[in-house]
Chain A
Amino acid sequence: MSLLLVLLLAAPAPDYGNTQLPDPRAEAQARELMGELRCVVCQGQSIADSDADMAADMRALVRQRIARGESPTAIRNWLIERYGDYVSYDPPLSGATALLWATPILLLALGAWIALSTFRRRR
């Protein structure tokens, strides 16, 4: 991993902050990930939608790593290791987000219960 990082920094690379990857499938993967990562210096934008320099740097990081074959999950985790869950717009499943992800299910259950009691009473 550290060797990879050293290689990454040693070799000259195109500015992937504002250039696309040549492989369309990799680029599509990168785009999807970029839409889900938060720009840490902006007021609530993903790195895919931001003019900030740091957002361009993060885009370059994402594209380079995708080009080297890393999975989007690995890249996301690498960033979360350094910036916390804050940097991911996709809240990871954890104790802290259990309530969040349970909300649709809970609300649907409540809704179904209301529906059933509305109609059962009518019969």
Chain B
Amino acid sequence: MFVSLESLNPLFTSMIHYDVIIIGMGLSGLMAAKTAVEAGRKVLIIGRGTGSLCLFSNTIDLLGEFPKATTTEDGLSRWIANHPQHPYSKAGQTGINEALVSFISLFPPPYSFESIGDENCMMLTGAGTFRPTRLVPSTMLAGISTRQGKTLVVGFEGFKDFYARYVADGLGCQGITLPLPETLNQEITASALSRFMEQDSFRKEIGREVRKHINGEVRVGFPAVLGLQDPMSVKKAIEDDVGVEVFEIPTLPPSVPGRRIFNRFRTWLIQRGVTFVMGQPVTEVSLEGNRCKGVYVFHAPGSTFYSGDRIILATGRFMGGGLVADQKRIIEPIFNLPVVQPESREGWFKKMFPEDHPIHYAGIETDVSFRPVDTRGGVLIDNVWVAGTVLAHHNVIEEKSREGIELVTGYLAAKRAIER
């Protein structure tokens, strides 16, 4: 598969051993790390990037496709019955609940993840539409009741990933676009705005300006840029100036709320002794018989070998690099695991954009313990478990299940791994 990296680097000596090595630093990898370290294991997490977490995740979607007025529990049990191959069916109702509880426990108030009752809620989006989601960070809570009372939507001049009037016209309410102080003199991105929001003087100016436009509105919606460190204080400070409730609305990527989730996991995991190797790809794995001995991580000009007892593959889909499509086939590049996929490229995408494209169901087949299997169900590598969106038989986009699948499978893959 690859030239042995040991032979390329004569100085190659390092040999660090871990109980659990996680490849992938998105939500599923982080969740797996949390689960493993809580069980007292020595954990290494390796990530080239942070997956889709810091791009698309704002709230925790579990499953959007419930019939109206169905509780999550009813909806899930029906879903599991109808989709036996789906990752949720391997997890079971109990596994799903445990994973969500574990995630929620990581976010104590003030910035916590909440739900309204025991069903999905409809969350206002940056296109003025609503999306079904299960858990909402406290900064977004007021965005799920926008059908009652008037809302003011606020955007910022020069911030091109959010348009207040677009959202407001969809809601049938007022939208304003505030000019930013000229001294900023830099490109107005979501992360730049969230830094400014943490400055008291900036917030005050925004608050004063917004207050002038309040005309019977009972809440004010901002793009989701209300600070990275302490968003609830930012929200509270603006509320004090404006006099009504403030909430956040998801924007085009990148996602500041996703970055908050990442930061919280990282701080918590590092405190508990998890080793992070960031920004480097796993270039090769060392296999012996049906066991993986460890992984090679590229550090120019050489690479480091990390040995591990258990390996969790949480590399995401195409965007994360967990799956790669050439002109004909889809492959899994790290272990070269078999990928469940349509017969030929012709079958990847349907004729119309809105259709449910078969390529999204492609991925790695596993047993109920999330170990990769061949077409006859035989376990391929004894000490490798698979988590997150790289798994087959789900479509996080259509199902609105992205964070749910990542959390649940990350939690369970790690749990099954340490049980062994």
* A pairs with B: no
Query: What is A's interface to B at a CB cutoff of 8 Å?
Result: none
